Chain A
Amino acid sequence: MGWLEAAEQIRVGALKSTTYVETLLARINTLDPQLHAFVHLEPDNALQQARQADKLTQTGVSSGPLHGIPFALKDIIDVEGMPTTAHSKILAHNIATHDAEVTRRLKAAGGIIIGKLATHEFAYGGPCFDLPRPPARNPWDLRMFPGGSSSGSGAAIAAGLIPVALGTDTGGSVRNPASMCGIVGMKATYGRVSRRGVIPLSFSLDHVGPMTRTIAENAAILSIISGHDPLDPASSCKPVPDFLAAAKQGALGDIQGLRIGVIRHFYRDDMVAHPAVASGIESALGILAKLGAEVIEVSTLALQEFTDSQRVLLMSESYAIHREWLQTRPADYAKMTREKLLHGAFLSAADYVQSVRNRPRFIAAIDALFEQADILVTASSMDLQFPVDDAEAVARCYPRQARAPFNLSGHPAISVPIGFTKPDDDEPPLPLSMQLIGRHFDEETVFRVAACHEVAAGLRNIHPPLEA
């Protein structure tokens, strides 16, 4: 059962929040010892909140659209009174003193915080085995990488441990685990969602985004967490539309005449995607064309140009944040994280300024595509899932993606499931994905097209074969 359905049942008294939370906690207890999705769990606190929600329901009161629904957060997002460790020894004893703005909004909507989810160290490192906790694993095949850096969020949603999670996305860290775990991950327009109370990685690229099993669930969460926050300097004052309504419209197949621009050169020429990824995208485009969309090919700057500039900003800004710890406590980082963070020390101020000055050119390049198309499609991950403990595969495959351009440009981008690989003797079927990109602050069209595809492709109720 999805969270929208559960919320409706709780609202009408057909389901108790307590029962829902107990069921999920039992599933977590059974499955998480293999998945390692959670780094912190507060079952007693969650059950207490669920009992309070049930009492309110009995008096006819609803706290909001998330009334009685549990959620969990990537462990760089603050929850007052809970640890925020960033999955690192550096912050092993850090207890948050305030809620992040997104936490406050989820709680205000009636949501119940159940715990914190695994991340790559400081949302950057990778699947590391030299940290206090092991990395999360992919529910479709426990040997496999679940994507990152919001790895616990992806694994927990795909495994049905929790219906709602938030991740963060600086170079694709919501969309990558969504892609690897076969769920929906949305990075909205830069400024749409507050980052206050979230440990920064790169302030000009960081986004917070919802991760869910379905498009409608994702759209509803984005509506809840979006909106102006005067204490986040990047926060936008733009009004927040009803994203769920857009998803519902799309689910009815309403995309007649919509122009879909496919950036094929990102995954055919600039980086060559695995054939299963490329053919999966073609199948998805075929579905959308049958429903009346006009599919055209568009081209822009080379993918590497976008990613190089994104990396300079990311490395420079993250080094600025971590410099003091790198100087005084380098051994407290995982080896992989330390190596990645050190790059920023050897980029110059001129490199950073060049990338900042070039950024509008990259934004204009994407904006220009929207004169021909209403929405863009390209690959999310170029490669299929690989073993989580294969450091060489991590190094080789992790940068092979087409997500970073939209952190650089700030356009809204979502990763959605499009099917599965063909299983063989060694591997079960594993999820494939594509990415949809919209105009700035036009998440509605993104959700509309994504929901249309989701229904037509019949992918909504396929979940990993886990025994609980």
Chain B
Amino acid sequence: MTDDKISDLAAKHGLELAYALDPDAFASAVNQARALSERIAKPNSFTDEPAHVLKLSSGRKADARHRDNEP
């Protein structure tokens, strides 16, 4: 992301002062948050609430009661 876009983002969030203090650290926070956002586990389905289903995105075998639901 360019410096201009990051300063725009800072303005959008009312964080101009924080950006001015350390633009590099600010850009690093933006990038790290975006990487985390892409990495987090997503629910399997929005219509079939997966709360009780151990469908493992890591592919690791589940150990216990939901064995039938393994990928």
B4 in contact (CB, < 8 A):
no
A331 close to B29 (CB less than 8 A): no
Cα of A265 to Cα of B26 in the assembled complex, Å: 34
Q: Which residues of A contact B22 (CB under 8 A)?
A: 335, 338-339
- Provided the pairs A327-B17, A364-B52 are in contact, do residues A369 and B37 lie with their beta carbons within 8 angstroms? no
- Cα distance A372–B60 in the bound complex, in angstroms: 17
Given known pairs A343-B29, A346-B30, A346-B34, the reply for A300 and B62 (CB within 8 Å) is yes
Chain A residue at smallest Cβ distance from B59:
A302
Chain B's interface size range is 35 or more
A355–B36 CA distance with the chains assembled, in angstroms: 11
* A364 adjacent to B51 (CB under 8 Å): yes
Which parts of A316-354 form the interface with B (CB within 8 Å)? 326-328, 330-331, 335, 338-339, 342-348, 351, 354
Determine how close the nearest CB of chain B comes to the CB of A368; give it in whole angstroms.
Answer: 4
A355/B40 in contact, CB under 8 A:
yes
A299 within 8 A of B: yes
**B60 touching A298 by the CB < 8 A rule?**
no
Bound Cα distance A346, B32 (Å): 9
Contacts A338-B18, A361-B54, A364-B54; is A346 near B33 (CB within 8 Å)? yes
Which of A107-115, A230-238, A304-312 is the interface stretch? A304-312
Interface of B is mostly: loop
Q: How far apart are the CA atoms of A151 and B5 in the complex, in Å?
A: 38
Bound complex: CA A351 to CA B34 (Å) = 10
What is the distance, in angstroms, from A456's C-beta to the closest C-beta of chain B? Answer: 28
CB-contacts of B26-49 with A (<8 A): 26, 28-30, 32-34, 36-37, 39-43, 49
Chain A binding surface SS class: helix
Q: Which B residues are in CB contact (< 8 Å) with A365?
A: 54, 62
Total interface residues on A, using CB and 8 Å? 41
Check if B33 sits within 8 Å of A302, measured CB to CB: no
The CA of A374 and the CA of B12, in the complex, are separated in Å by 50
From known contacts A302-B60, A312-B40, A358-B43, infer whether A339 and B28 are also in contact, taking CB-CB under 8 Å.
Answer: yes
Interface centre among B40, B41, B65 (most CB of A within 10 A): B41
| Distance, CA A360 to CA B50, complexed state (A) | 8
Q: Please, which residues of chain A bring their CB within 8 A of the CB of B56?
A: 301
Which residues of A (96-133) have their CB < 8 Å from a CB of B? none
Measured between alpha carbons, how far is A364 from B53 in the docked complex, in Å?
A: 8
A343, B32: Cβ atoms closer than 8 Å: yes
Measured between beta carbons, the chain B residues less than 8 angstroms from A309 are 40-41
Whether A357 sits at the interface, judged by CB under 8 Å, is yes
Q: Which residues of B contact A327 (CB under 8 A)?
A: 13-15, 17-18
Contact A299-B60, Cβ < 8 Å, known A338-B18, A361-B50, A364-B52: yes
B residues apposed to A, CB below 8 Å: 9, 13-15, 17-18, 21-22, 25-26, 28-30, 32-34, 36-37, 39-43, 49-54, 56-58, 60-66
5 A-B pairs besides A302-B60, A327-B14 with CB distance below 8 A are: A305-B57, A330-B18, A342-B25, A345-B13, A371-B64
